[in-house]
Chains A and B, each alone.
Chain A
Amino acid sequence: MMTSIAATIQNTDQRLARGARTQQKILAAALGILGDHGYGALSISGICTRAGVSPTSLYHHFGDKAGLLSAMIDESLVRNTQRYLSSMAGLVSPLDQLDAFMASVRQVFVDDAQNSSAILSALSQARGEATEIAETIGAARQRVWAFMAGKFAEYFKVEDGLILAHIFSAFSSYIPQVRQDPDSAEDVEALFTTLRTVLLIIGAAIQPDLMKDEKYAAAVEVARRELLQNPAVGNQPRSVIAAKE
């Protein structure tokens, strides 16, 4: 009797692990197609061929294309959040926290750019699709916003961070746009430099207590000088400025 229970548990575990592996294979295949060929090429048959699974398996795990897109967004959210939380763990200094935040944004939109851009672009295109897909995407966006709103509220110590999440989401979608230009490296650098500079100044303006931290105060002074004196901190690509000089 005990042997048969143990065998059943073992079989169930194996089945679950196999199921999780299949899910991951399908998600990776879908992401690969989005990255290589864009949302227009994302078909159930194409995903199944690339993942080496049957359509029945895909429908079993995700229901339909809308369910698959929704799972991709959730998976990306969980992955990026875990990355962000682990980078922030144990940091006390506000300057270190800001730099860790900047590093995780960079990781999502520069180092992991192909995946992030693929998902963002799919989100944008899928909104114009069939009602069911548009609704699923809408619901997924709401979940992402609600999650980010909670994080922002916690970080900035405010009651609600929904509108902050809207702003962050809009600013984030700008990075893949800039990166579409093959010569965008300088622009992306200028963007991150400006973002850090302005976040430092905004931090000092809204939370004067931050200026009690010597490292932070010194960084704000440098940021102010850079913003007012260095034309590279702004909208103009550094390459253009260098050519002028």
Chain B
Amino acid sequence: MKEKTMTIDPRYNMKFEPVKAMKATGKFLNNKEDTSQVFRIMSALDGGQSEKNFQRFKTTQTGSMVLAENRSLFEALCDRDHLRSCPEGSLGRAYLDFVTREGLSPEGFQAEIEAADEEMAHISPERLQLRMRIRHAHDLWHILTGYGRDTVGEVALLGFTYAQTGILGFAYLGTMVGFKAKREFEAMPVFACFKEGYEIGKKAGWLIEADWENLFHLPLEQVREMFSIDQPVKYFGIAERAAERDLELRKELAAIAA
């Protein structure tokens, strides 16, 4: 029997597959532990946008350097001694404070991604490098935009990320989480914050090309100005209440689990 040869496209998913995304959504809603479905949704709704971003990134000064030097943002974020040596009020110190306060680690995030993203094995090393760079920059984006890790903040940051990357999957996930948040965070303008995040992201410079490793020592405000990142006025108006409500929900969940 003639053996079938399978060609693997080293590019990101060039197809736009909304049906696949919808099916993955249904499965995820049935079993929220199955996070691989989230990666399936993102891949299905990519439609070649990641590839466009990669081609653009390659032509930027930072992009060509990052790729040529095979730089890893993950390693830079794991270098806590270096981050600690950054001046008070700098991006590096703000990042270190943020992950410490929130109990996060780049190592844990890396492990989560590796366990759930099936597409990692197929794309070229350079593309994987950019993908991981964008993912690891997520918490840096939190810091620069001012969005907290409460659910409303995450939704707004998804709006910002959608505007920056052009990837519809972020809009789709933001909408799903937004609907959930709308129920749990009653009377809070979740979708207004979502749109505000999108608008701030549209107006800001392209953070994908940020030379993070050389920005850590700079004052946070200076980096914000460098990328024209506006303050999220609507979100700041409810941030405190959102964080309190988030804490309540976490306590409720913990009580259920106990």
Spell out A's residues near B (CB within 8 Å): 153, 156-164, 166-167, 170-171, 174, 177, 190-191, 194-195, 197-198, 201-202, 205-208, 223-224, 227-228, 233-235
Contacts and interface: CB of A to CB of B under 8 A. Distances in A.
A234 B19 contact: yes
A198 B22 contact: yes
A174 B16 contact: yes
B29 A163 contact: no
Contact of A205 (B17, B29, B189, B195): B29
A198 B23 CA distance: 7
Contacts of A202: 25-26, 29, 176, 179
User: Which 9 A-B pairs give the minimum distances between C-beta atoms?
Assistant: A206-B179, A158-B191, A198-B22, A159-B192, A235-B20, A160-B195, A227-B26, A234-B23, A160-B191
B198 A170 contact: no
B233 to A, nearest CB: 14
Contacts of A158: 178, 182, 190-191
A207 to B, nearest CB: 7
Contacts of B168: 166-167, 170
A231 to B, nearest CB: 10
Nearest to A164: B175
B216 interface: no
A195 B19 CA distance: 7
26 contacts: A158-B182, A158-B191, A159-B191, A159-B192, A160-B192, A161-B191, A162-B195, A163-B162, A163-B174, A163-B195, A166-B171, A167-B172, A174-B18, A190-B19, A194-B19, A194-B23, A195-B22, A197-B22, A201-B25, A202-B179, A207-B183, A223-B26, A224-B26, A227-B30, A234-B20, A235-B17
Nearest to A198: B22
Contact of B30 (A163, A177, A228): A228
A105 to B, nearest CB: 13
A65 to B, nearest CB: 28
Interface centre among B22, B30, B162, B171 (most CB of A within 10 A): B22
A223 B179 CA distance: 20
Nearest to B32: A205
Contacts of B159: 163
A153 B190 CA distance: 12
Interface in B140-193: 159, 162, 168, 171-172, 174-176, 178-180, 182-183, 189-192
A235 B22 CA distance: 9
B16 A170 contact: yes
Contact of B27 (A159, A160, A223, A228): A228
B182 to A, nearest CB: 6
Nearest to B29: A205
A139 B174 CA distance: 25
Contacts of A163: 159, 162, 171, 174-175, 191, 194-195, 198
B195 A194 contact: no
Contacts of A161: 191
Contacts of A223: 26
A81 B190 CA distance: 27
Interface centre among B25, B26, B162, B178 (most CB of A within 10 A): B26
B195 A198 contact: no
A140 to B, nearest CB: 19
A197 B176 CA distance: 16
Nearest to B234: A159
A201 B26 contact: yes
Nearest to A234: B23
Contacts of B19: 190-191, 194-195, 234-235
A195 B21 CA distance: 10
Nearest to A195: B22
A145 to B, nearest CB: 11
